[in-house]
Structure 1
Amino acid sequence: MGSIDIAVPNYNYGRYLDDCLDSILTQGVERLRVLVIDNASTDSSQAIARRRAAADPRIELRLRERNLGAHASFNEGIEWAQADYFAILCADDMLAPGALARAIAVMDARADIDMVFGETAFIGPDHVTAGDEAAKTGACEILGGPAFLEQFCRTGRSPVGGPTAVVRTTAQKRAGHYRSDLPHTDDVEMWMRLARSGNVARLDDVQVLARIHAGNQSAAVTNVHQWNLEMEKAFVSFFSNEGRTLPEADRLQKLARESLAVRAYWCAVSHFLRGEPGVRELLGFAFTRRPSLAILPPLGRLLARGDANQRIVATLRETFTRRRRPRVGRVSR
C-alpha cells in the first residue's frame, strides 16, 4: 500500500482535534504521517497537539505564533508533502473508517488517477466519533478528467460533495497552491485543476464526516445567490488560469455560466412561490448571465433532472400549504 501524508489545519478547534486525529491514526495505513498546522490558536489546541505528538511519532507539528490564515496552512501542507498521496483534513472533520485504504487502493491500481473522492456525511457539532459510517459498497466509478469537468460545468456545482479528497502528491504539486482570493470555493477550484491533467475516481462509500457548526467558513455564505457568486468566482479563476488552455475552454466556461444562471432562475421561482426573500437578486444574476431567460424559461434543463417531477410537486404542495395557513396574529373568521 502506498504512503500518505495528511495535513490537519487547525485554529481554535481544540475541542475537535482529538477526534480528528483518532479518525486518521486508526485508518490501518502503515506508512502515514500527520502534520498538525496550528494557526496561533488561543484555546487548548497547541497543548493537545504537543501531547498527541509526544505519544505518536507519526504526528508532526508546526505551531505558529502568528495567524497566517487558512490558505497558508493548506499550502504549507502541500509544500511539506513527500508521500505517494496527500490529503487535507480540517481539524473539525473526521475520516470515515477505512477511507484512506479505499482511496489508496484505487490509486495504487491505476497510475492515471490523480484524485479519489467519495460521499460526505454531514454531522453536528456534538458528534464525537467516526463510528461505522461508511457504506462499504466497494463501488468505484472512474471519470476521465474531461468528463469530470463537463459534469462540473453542466451542473454548476462540484461533483465532490465534501471538503476532502485524496490526491496523488505529484499531481498536487503540479497543480500548485490553493488561491487565497477564493475563501469559500478554493477547494472547488482545486478539484478542477487536478482534473485538468488526470483522471478522477468516485467511491460510493462515505469517506469524510464534515462537521456543521457556526464557526464553519461556509457558514458566512447564507443563501443561494451568495453561493452562485462564489461558484462563479471559482469558474472564472480556473478558466482565467490553468483552464484557459483546454481545447474546449470557451464552451465549458459558457456552460458553467449558463448552469449558474438557470439555477438562479429556478431558485427565484421557488422563492417567489414560497414568499421567501432574494427573488430580485436571483433573477438579476440569471438575466445578466443569460439574457434569454427573461423571455424563455429554461424548461429543458429543469425537465432533464431526474427528480424534476418530485421537486415541482414538493414546491407546489409547500406553497399551497403556506398560503392556506392563517397569518400569525390574524383572527380567522
Structure 2
Amino acid sequence: MPEIDIAIPCYNHGRFLRQCIASVLSQSADMRVLIIDNASTDGSAETARLIAAEDSRVELCLRERNMGPHASFNTGIDWAQSDYFLILCADDLLAAGCLGRALSVLRAETGVALAYGGQVIWEEPNPCPVPATVDGAVHTSIISGPQFAETLSMPHTPIGTGSFVVRTSVQKQVGYYRPELYYTDDLEMLMRLVSLGSAAKMDAVQGIRRRHGGNISADCWGNWKRELQELLAAFESFFANEGATYPWGAKIRRRVRRNIAHRAYWAGVSHHLRGKRQASAELLQFAWSIEPATRFMPPVSYLWHVENAGHLVASRMREIAVATAARLFPVTN
C-alpha cells in the first residue's frame, strides 16, 4: 500500500489539471492519486483519462451528474486507505518537496493529526510564483488544538487544502466535510482534525493557490463582512458539534468570537477612514452584534496580538493616505 493518498476534485478545471497533477507526481513520495471529476462540461474527464493512461498511480472517478464539491471531498475520504491523506483542488499546485517534508514530520511526531505549511497566492495571469527551495529539515512548531483553533480566528497566512497533510485514521474519525459550509468548510475541518491531535506547522511554503476568478471563494473577495460572517459560521458549526464536547470548547469559543468582533471593528474603522461609509457601518454593526462592548470602547488590545501588527498598521495608513490624496487632489481629464 502506498504511503499517501491524494484526492483531486475537479469541476471545469481541465485547463489546470495537467499542471496540478504534474506538481503531485513529481513529489518524492509513494502515492496513489484519485481524480474526481464532478460532471465537468469542459473536457476535464477526457484530460483525466489521458493522464491516467500515462501513469498507473492515477485512478479516476468520473461522475455523470454534478453532485457538488463536498461530495467530491467526501468521496476522497471514503477512498483513502493509506496512512496519510491530502485533498488538492485541480486548480492548485503542490510546492516542490512539500510531501517529503510533511511525511517526515508526521512519521516523527506520532501525536500530530496534521502537518501544514504556508501557501502562496498565484494571481492569474501573472507567472506562477516559485517558492524558495528548502534544503534539509525545516523548523517545525507543534501547536495544540485549542491554540490552533484560536489562531485561525486571527489574521494569518491562509492554510489551503493543498497545504496540509493529515493522518488518514484521524480523517476517517472526524468524518466528512459539511455541505452547509460552502466557503469555510476546510477551516471547520481543520478544527475538527486538531481536536484529536496537535498540528505541526512547518516554516516552508507547501502549496500554491491559483486565483483566477472562478474559485469557489471568489464571491467573498473584497467583501470583509461576508468573509467574517463565513468565518464565524465555521467556528459556530464546530463549537455547536464536536467542539461542545471538549473542556476547552466554551473558553475558546468566547475568545474566537471576540477576535472576529475585533477584526470586524478595525476593518470598519479602516473602511470609514477611506470613505467607504456603507461598508464601514455594516462591519461595525456586525462587530457590535458579536461583542456589544466594542460599541463603547475600541478593542485596542487586539492590535498587540496580530501577527506582524506593525505591517498591518502601516498598510492601513498607506491605504488611508492614498484615499485621502485621491479625495483632495482628484484626477481630472
Q: Output the TM-score relative to the length of structure 1.
A: 0.92
State the alpha-carbon separation in 2 of the partners of residues 291 and 79 from structure 1: 44
State the alpha-carbon separation in 2 of the partners of residues 158 and 169 from structure 1: 26
1:117/1:160 contact within 8 Å kept:
no
Partner of 1:283: 284
2:131/2:205 contact within 8 Å kept:
no
RMSD across aligned positions (CA): 2.1
Residues 1:327 and 2:330 aligned together:
yes
1:40 is paired with a residue of what secondary structure? Answer: coil
Moved over 2 A (4+): 124-137, 144-147, 149-153, 157-164, 303-325, 327-330
Partner of 1:43: 42
Residues 1:22 and 2:22 aligned together:
yes
State the alpha-carbon separation in 2 of the partners of residues 54 and 140 from structure 1: 38
- Identify if the C-alpha distance between structure 1 residues 316 and 104 changes in structure 2 by more than 3 Å, giving closer, same or farther: closer
Give 1:309 deviation, angstroms.
4.2
1:151/1:159 contact within 8 Å kept:
no
State the alpha-carbon separation in 2 of the partners of residues 257 and 285 from structure 1: 11
Give 1:135 deviation, angstroms.
4.4
Deviation sequence 1:246-288 (CA, Å, 0-9, x none):
1021111111111111001101111111112401110110111
Residues 1:211 and 2:210 aligned together:
yes
Q: Which amino acid aligns with 2:224?
A: V
Q: Which amino acid aligns with 2:143?
A: L
Residues 1:33 and 2:37 aligned together:
no
- Identify if the C-alpha distance between structure 1 residues 296 and 102 changes in structure 2 by more than 3 Å, giving closer, same or farther: same
Residues 1:182 and 2:185 aligned together:
no
What does 1:1-333 correspond to in 2, within 5 Å? Answer: 3-29=3-29, 31-126=30-125, 133-136=132-135, 138-153=138-153, 155=154, 161-164=159-162, 165-222=164-221, 223-276=223-276, 277-305=278-306, 307-325=308-326, 326-329=329-332
State the alpha-carbon separation in 2 of the partners of residues 328 and 50 from structure 1: 54
- Identify if the C-alpha distance between structure 1 residues 4 and 321 changes in structure 2 by more than 3 Å, giving closer, same or farther: closer
Q: Which amino acid aligns with 1:327?
A: P
2:195 is paired with a residue of what secondary structure? Answer: helix
Deviation sequence 1:140-167 (CA, Å, 0-9, x none):
11112233224335x2x56653233100
1:96/1:130 contact within 8 Å kept:
no
State the alpha-carbon separation in 2 of the partners of residues 100 and 283 from structure 1: 42
State the alpha-carbon separation in 1 of the partners of residues 314 and 168 from structure 2: 46
Give 1:138 deviation, angstroms.
1.4
State the alpha-carbon separation in 2 of the partners of residues 306 and 147 from structure 1: 14
Deviation sequence 1:269-310 (CA, Å, 0-9, x none):
111111124011101101111111111111111234364444
Gaps of at least 5 residues in structure 1 are none
1:182/1:234 contact within 8 Å kept:
yes
State the alpha-carbon separation in 2 of the partners of residues 291 and 112 from structure 1: 39
1:279 is paired with a residue of what secondary structure? Answer: helix
- Identify if the C-alpha distance between structure 1 residues 69 and 301 changes in structure 2 by more than 3 Å, giving closer, same or farther: same
2:86/2:161 contact within 8 Å kept:
no
- Identify if the C-alpha distance between structure 1 residues 221 and 300 changes in structure 2 by more than 3 Å, giving closer, same or farther: same
2:156/2:307 contact within 8 Å kept:
no
- Identify if the C-alpha distance between structure 1 residues 130 and 170 changes in structure 2 by more than 3 Å, giving closer, same or farther: farther
1:184 is paired with a residue of what secondary structure? Answer: coil
Does 107-116 or 191-200 show the bigger shift? Answer: 107-116
Does 43-52 or 297-306 show the bigger shift? Answer: 297-306
State the alpha-carbon separation in 2 of the partners of residues 250 and 143 from structure 1: 19
Aligned residues: 327
Q: Which amino acid aligns with 2:304?
A: L
- Identify if the C-alpha distance between structure 1 residues 133 and 59 changes in structure 2 by more than 3 Å, giving closer, same or farther: farther
State the alpha-carbon separation in 2 of the partners of residues 166 and 254 from structure 1: 29
Q: Which amino acid aligns with 2:87?
A: I
